[in-house]
């Protein structure tokens, strides 16, 4: 077991900076997820920790030891890739045992390690099979098994579920969570899928364009995003952003005016806000109500998706790039072309200044996932 510490790490290919000012501690035993849109640098960051990419500047320490110049095999890490990279001519046992045989471990020790990993991953009945006789999920398990037998101090996973279909991804997500619970080893997991990040992580690192936007528990990122980027990235369906003007604000709240003239009270600390300035009201689809008791917003429904468990209503509102999305109870009697008087509780208003920085919400965050 080991922590991973990155200090002022940056990465450039020739003169193109792809990662900058990376300061981060992944704690011993933590499940840390790197998430961000394609091209933000998350795989490069993981590959630098693995030793597959050079570090242009800064320090990387694993378990307190600086490893900038230590080869991958001596870093105490094991990496699992999106492509399983199994040897097609070897059966599962040999695929999993390969690294240990190379390291010339005694046969009995190899046998025991492979059997134990196969059991954890529920593939112990398949050890004689070749990879081509396995499903995608089973192949991914073999790739994970190959990492487990090495007993690494840190596991690195690079989009391990990307090649699987939607149903299998959900199942494997659960298996990853269980695996971490069982092994309690430090794990760093890269994905572009925010749902995967939210469900697996102790803490999430949100990256954008080579920088860390925010680090926090899933609930912290949902409840207190630092900026528009994180607010828009975390949460599904996506947060609505409504252009607004700040009427007044202090440490106890803010009053903003929307494009249609409605005044909305927000439970945020807006002490640093300038009256008259442009702000953005953030409203998560799941926080709208149909009773309009608090913060009434008038809209017209353009499209409805009845999903059974919930109803998604897409509505017109001036100044929005995309329709205003509301997630309502599955039995809400809402139809296309209805006019709706929506409510938005002040406690669930998010507010961002003209630079996209969040005003802190006053509502107490829910209990964060235990570290």
How many residues sit close enough to ligand ADP to count as binding (CB under 6 A)? 10
Binders of ligand ADP among 61-100, rule CB under 6 A?
none
**Residue 38 vs 355, nearer CB to ligand ADP:** 38
Residue 43 CB, shortest distance to ligand ADP, in Å, is: 3
18 binding ligand ADP? (CB under 6 A): yes
Residue 320 CB, shortest distance to ligand ADP, in Å, is: 28
**Residue 139 vs 192, nearer CB to ligand ADP:** 192
* E runs forming strands in the chain: 4-13, 16-26, 31-35, 57-62, 65-66, 77-80, 154-158, 186-191, 203-208, 211-216, 240-250, 253-258, 263-266, 278-283, 297-306, 310-316, 324-329, 339-342, 350-352, 358-359
318 binding ligand ADP? (CB under 6 A): no
13 binding ligand ADP? (CB under 6 A): yes
Nearest CA among 314, 322, 313 for reference residue 241? 322
Q: Which residue is nearest to ligand ADP (CB)?
A: 43
Cβ pair 152, 76 in contact under 8 A:
yes
Tokens of 84: 């399983």
Residue 230 CB, shortest distance to ligand ADP, in Å, is: 16
Residue 286 CB, shortest distance to ligand ADP, in Å, is: 28
Residue 38 CB, shortest distance to ligand ADP, in Å, is: 4
**Residue 44 vs 140, nearer CB to ligand ADP:** 44
Tokens of 269: 């600390």
273 binding ligand ADP? (CB under 6 A): no
CA distance 198 to 15: 34
Cβ pair 188, 32 in contact under 8 A:
yes
Residue 190 CB, shortest distance to ligand ADP, in Å, is: 7
- 10 Å CB burial of residue 307 (0-12, 13-18, 19+) is exposed
Binders of ligand ADP among 24-63, rule CB under 6 A?
36, 38-44
**Residue 39 vs 57, nearer CB to ligand ADP:** 39
Residue 167 CB, shortest distance to ligand ADP, in Å, is: 25
**Residue 47 vs 287, nearer CB to ligand ADP:** 47
State the virtual CA torsion across 347, 322, 280, 358 in degrees, nearest 10. Answer: 70
Alpha-carbon separation of residue 321 from 312, 318, 325, 328 (angstroms): 18, 9, 12, 21
Look at phi and psi of residue 289 and say left if phi exceeds 0, alpha if psi is from -120 to 50, else beta: beta
**Residue 163 vs 332, nearer CB to ligand ADP:** 163
**Residue 50 vs 363, nearer CB to ligand ADP:** 50
**Residue 37 vs 99, nearer CB to ligand ADP:** 37
169 binding ligand ADP? (CB under 6 A): no
3-state helix, strand, coil in the chain (%, to 5): 25, 35, 40
Phi, psi of 286 (to 5 degrees): -75, -5
Point out which residues bind ligand ADP (CB under 6 A): 13, 18, 36, 38-44
């Amino acid at each position: 077991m080991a922590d991973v510490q990155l200090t002022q790490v940056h990465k450039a290919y020739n003169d193109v900076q792809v990662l900058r000012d990376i300061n981060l501690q992944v704690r011993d035993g933590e499940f840390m997820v790197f998430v961000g849109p394609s091209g933000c640098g998350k795989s490069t960051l993981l590959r630098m920790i693995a030793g597959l990419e050079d570090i242009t500047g800064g320090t990387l320490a694993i378990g307190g030891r600086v490893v900038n110049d230590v080869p991958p095999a001596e870093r105490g890490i094991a990496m699992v890739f999106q492509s399983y990279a199994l040897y097609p001519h070897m059966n599962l046992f040999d695929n999993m045992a390969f690294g240990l045989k190379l390291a010339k471990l005694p046969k009995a020790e190899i046998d025991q390690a492979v059997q134990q990993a196969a059991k954890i991953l529920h593939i112990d009945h398949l050890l004689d099979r070749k990879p081509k006789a396995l499903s995608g999920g089973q192949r991914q398990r073999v790739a994970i098994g190959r990492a487990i037998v090495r007993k690494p101090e840190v596991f690195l996973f690079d989009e391990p579920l990307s090649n699987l279909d939607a149903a299998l991804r959900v199942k494997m997500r659960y298996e990853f969570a269980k695996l971490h619970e069982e092994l309690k080893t430090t794990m760093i997991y890269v994905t572009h899928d925010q749902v995967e990040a939210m469900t697996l992580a102790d803490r999430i690192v949100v990256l954008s364009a080579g920088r860390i936007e925010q680090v926090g528990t899933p609930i912290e990122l949902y409840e207190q995003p630092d900026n528009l980027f994180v607010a828009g990235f975390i949460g599904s369906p996506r947060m609505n952003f409504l252009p607004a003007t700040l009427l007044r604000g202090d440490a106890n709240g803010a009053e903003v005016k929307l494009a249609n003239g409605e005044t909305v009270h927000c439970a945020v600390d807006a002490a640093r806000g300038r009256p008259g300035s442009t702000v953005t009201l953030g409203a998560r689809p799941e926080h709208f109500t149909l009773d309009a008791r608090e913060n009434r917003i008038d809209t017209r429904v353009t499209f409805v998706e009845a999903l059974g468990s919930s109803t998604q209503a897409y509505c017109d509102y001036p100044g929005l790039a995309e329709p205003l999305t509301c997630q309502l109870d599955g039995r809400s009697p809402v139809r296309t072309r209805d006019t709706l008087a929506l409510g938005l509780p002040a406690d669930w208003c998010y507010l961002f200044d003209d630079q996209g920085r969040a005003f802190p919400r006053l509502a107490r965050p829910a209990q964060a996932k235990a570290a």
